[in-house]
Chain A
């Protein structure tokens, strides 16, 4: 401890708010010596995200950063595991349990709160827990291993979070016991509770409302609960979450004023009845209120730090809006959630089918939003909260706020309409102006950069979407149009880079990065350049495996759980019985799930990475080849059976589909490509929903391009009519090369066309009329790609060095990933849910 003559600030409690106070005071002024006493055995941690301790986070991961605390200039000492026993206000010293006697000039109480444990007979039994500290969670976890069923007492915010934690610990169908007639009684109304109850039941919770517990029964350890309505419930463990009780015992002992229902009484400067002593966080009672959330606690910390450093700041109440995290159902309540007539008008939207409930309360004249409740879909939470806090004007039809506007003008105000002093991150008190300034003056463009620069979004994280919108909005307002450059490592678009690579005959990613890029590349530019290199030179992509998207790196599609799927090519969807039998045998031998795909082929799922080469060896021996289902490349050319069997068929669509599929197989493109060939106008191959579609006519074929299925269906458009097969292929060569060389990464042909100046008539001019004079070159380039085709899987199977890469553990090549697990369904395996 330094013996400087700086005034000494002693902080009692090293929880979230105590921690924040130290941070704020050190930032505000270097002229204090700070001594902290904490009761818990470890430095402050993120209690708000405590439940993540059950989801793989360690105590270390949860700890709050103390970067810079122990720098030379800072004068701070931290005693953990040493609670303060007594405050001697006359001598102005405190006594710790370990016997330290520490004088103070100012004392800050940040002792937080404890779980409120109701006085019910038997509550002291083994198997009854509270949910507040890492130690509590360790006890719960250990006990839950032996427990089969469990319950949470209390259906509030924390109780539901605890119930979800029990679920995560393997207690199936945990019970939630609530004294009131609805869940989260402090945040939501009964209509909202009904919807929430339905959703939670689906998640596996068993809810008991209107239940008064009379006794906890069992010999030594809890066995059952008895209720006032003469019912009972058997259980092995019980977690109490019935509210919080401010820890004011030390203050009481020292003769400071406390509230009748607990809490250390403070004024708007957070001063207790002794002006040298302050109380902040959950132990403080300010204007009749104990705040059980972290953001108001941080604000209190700021008030005391600012005043000690010579400023003037007061605590004027705080918004209690909350969003429930973790449970798997969005629940939010903001502003004044409960006001009703006559002070306000209420608009309610309820969808029992989807489990959505939204309520907003607006002023009688319909001009301002007062508050509301969102259940099942809280996407609008941040913006609605801002609308309340900043008294933003409402749209002419206020219901648009929760329904979205139906036609015409946008609903409500956008983020950029918020006033400069709008508080965006309430945990760290960051305003809109601070965020926009960071963008325009410090060049911050990412959420990560913003967190480092302003700390916005580092608390509860709830404001992150809003911060992202503000960054984008401010960038746009500054006229910084997001140019189509590939990523932060290249200043070129995909098309520009492709031209450079061809012109300079560059063949490796490292050389591309060295010549035109900066930094070390990333998951965006590596696969984009890989695709360009493949489109230009058609070298085996395994030669530069590490720049390929994971699917291309392992020549298979990664699936839930980390296994892969295998899709051999079945051109045109035609397959012999012998080959079908081979597929069945291979699937059986390697325990694979089999499914027929939309592209008329067979997908085998659930292959361990180390089995892939063996599987392919067998498939290739039977005459199969890679289907490129993993690549941004041609997938399938779907066909109907055509004139060989069909009584309506005009031409042999299957043969043509096979010819086209085999021509373009393996060619890498900005995105996947699908084709279709139909033998007549009935269009059974659905060719008009493909990137290219060929449909038989009386006189030849019609060629359609730029169609799309999937989430944004788009009809393909007619490029040429009644042409012969050779012309179809020639036009397709040109069309595909034009696309490959000019589209942005991950852009399907439909989107590429939608963005093209001049649209379809321009495309027709270029491809059919050869207006750019590129046709001959494109046809030649395409022929070179076609001629250099090799089956990638065959090359791997035949090359021991390449085969070796297909292992999960490099130090135990034969060992499979032990975390891979399957469920079963209808007689086959299925990936475990994540």
Chain B
């Protein structure tokens, strides 16, 4: 699939607040990492909100929606919400955000980007 993506060290586990997000810098890219500690899950997405191109998603509030408890994040600007799994906009808009695989090992967070 994405052949040139590789696992990269993003940050330490404690850099990302419990049930919150933080942003890491990879060259020119900004990636938002979410520590969904209620479910012991980690997610990563692009930090840019496609609504007004704001680098803000890492500062957004996380949560879930629906019967399946789809994990999501709400942009702090206008509260557009996005699935942390598919990147789909759950507020009914057409755009989507990129998502990345995350893994945690020995207290370090890695992202495949």
Q: Check A61–B23 contact: CB distance below 8 A.
A: no
Q: Given the known A-B contacts A550-B60, A810-B16, are A56 and B65 also in contact in the complex, defined by CB atoms under 8 Å?
A: no
Q: Which residues of B contact A457 (CB under 8 A)?
A: 92
Q: Given the known A-B contacts A520-B38, A546-B18, A550-B61, are A52 and B95 also in contact in the complex, defined by CB atoms under 8 Å?
A: yes
Q: Check A545–B79 contact: CB distance below 8 A.
A: no
Q: How far is the CB of B51 from chain A (nearest CB, A)?
A: 9
Q: Is A812 in the interface zone, CB < 8 Å from B?
A: yes
Q: Given the known A-B contacts A546-B18, A547-B61, A810-B23, are A523 and B79 also in contact in the complex, defined by CB atoms under 8 Å?
A: yes
Q: Is B102 in the interface zone, CB < 8 Å from A?
A: no
Q: Check B79–A520 contact: CB distance below 8 A.
A: no
Q: Check B54–A834 contact: CB distance below 8 A.
A: yes
Most chain A beta-carbon contacts within 10 A, residue among B10, B16, B64: B64
Q: Which residues of A contact B93 (CB under 8 A)?
A: 461
Q: Which residues of B contact A448 (CB under 8 A)?
A: 65, 90-92
Q: Is B56 in the interface zone, CB < 8 Å from A?
A: yes
Q: Given the known A-B contacts A550-B61, A810-B16, are A562 and B50 also in contact in the complex, defined by CB atoms under 8 Å?
A: no
Q: Check A815–B25 contact: CB distance below 8 A.
A: yes
Q: Is B17 in the interface zone, CB < 8 Å from A?
A: yes
Q: Given the known A-B contacts A522-B65, A523-B74, A523-B79, are A809 and B56 also in contact in the complex, defined by CB atoms under 8 Å?
A: no
Q: Which residues of A contact B59 (CB under 8 A)?
A: 550, 553-554, 558
Chain A residue with minimal CB distance to B25? A809
Q: Which residues of B contact A562 (CB under 8 A)?
A: 54-56
Interface mask (A47-86 → B, CB under 8 Å = 1, otherwise 0): 0010010001110010000000000000000000000000
CA distance A489 to B62 in the complex (A): 13
Q: How far is the CB of B64 from chain A (nearest CB, A)?
A: 4
Say which size band chain A's interface belongs to. 35 or more
Q: Which residues of A contact B38 (CB under 8 A)?
A: 510, 520
Q: Is B96 in the interface zone, CB < 8 Å from A?
A: yes
Q: How far is the CB of B102 from chain A (nearest CB, A)?
A: 14
Q: Which of B21-46 contact A (CB under 8 A)?
A: 22-25, 30, 36, 38-39
Q: Is A226 in the interface zone, CB < 8 Å from B?
A: no
Q: Which residues of A contact B50 (CB under 8 A)?
A: 56-57
Partner of B25, one of A489, A526, A554, A811: A811
Q: Is A451 in the interface zone, CB < 8 Å from B?
A: yes
Q: Is A4 in the interface zone, CB < 8 Å from B?
A: no
Q: Check B65–A488 contact: CB distance below 8 A.
A: yes
Q: Check A809–B24 contact: CB distance below 8 A.
A: yes
Q: Check B64–A521 contact: CB distance below 8 A.
A: yes
Chain B residue with minimal CB distance to A551? B76
Partner of A520, one of B15, B64, B81, B95: B64
Q: Is B77 in the interface zone, CB < 8 Å from A?
A: yes
Q: Is A428 in the interface zone, CB < 8 Å from B?
A: no
Q: Check B55–A521 contact: CB distance below 8 A.
A: no
Q: Which residues of B contact A545 (CB under 8 A)?
A: 17, 20
CA distance A56 to B46 in the complex (A): 12
A: residues with CB less than 8 A from B are 49, 52, 56-58, 61, 447-449, 451, 457, 461, 464, 468, 488-489, 510, 519-523, 525-527, 545-547, 549-551, 553-554, 558, 561-562, 805, 808-812, 815, 817, 819-820, 834
B: residues with CB less than 8 A from A are 10-11, 15-20, 22-25, 30, 36, 38-39, 48, 50, 52-56, 59-66, 69, 71-72, 74, 76-77, 79, 81, 90-96, 98
- Can you list 12 A-B pairs with a CB-CB distance of less than 8 A? A52-B94, A61-B98, A488-B65, A522-B72, A522-B81, A554-B59, A558-B76, A808-B23, A809-B30, A812-B25, A819-B30, A834-B53
6 A-B pairs with least C-beta separation: A550-B76, A522-B63, A546-B20, A523-B74, A520-B64, A810-B15
- Sample of 15 more A-B contacts, CB < 8 Å, known A547-B19, A810-B24: A447-B92, A448-B90, A457-B92, A520-B36, A520-B69, A520-B71, A523-B74, A549-B61, A554-B59, A808-B23, A808-B55, A810-B22, A811-B10, A812-B25, A815-B25
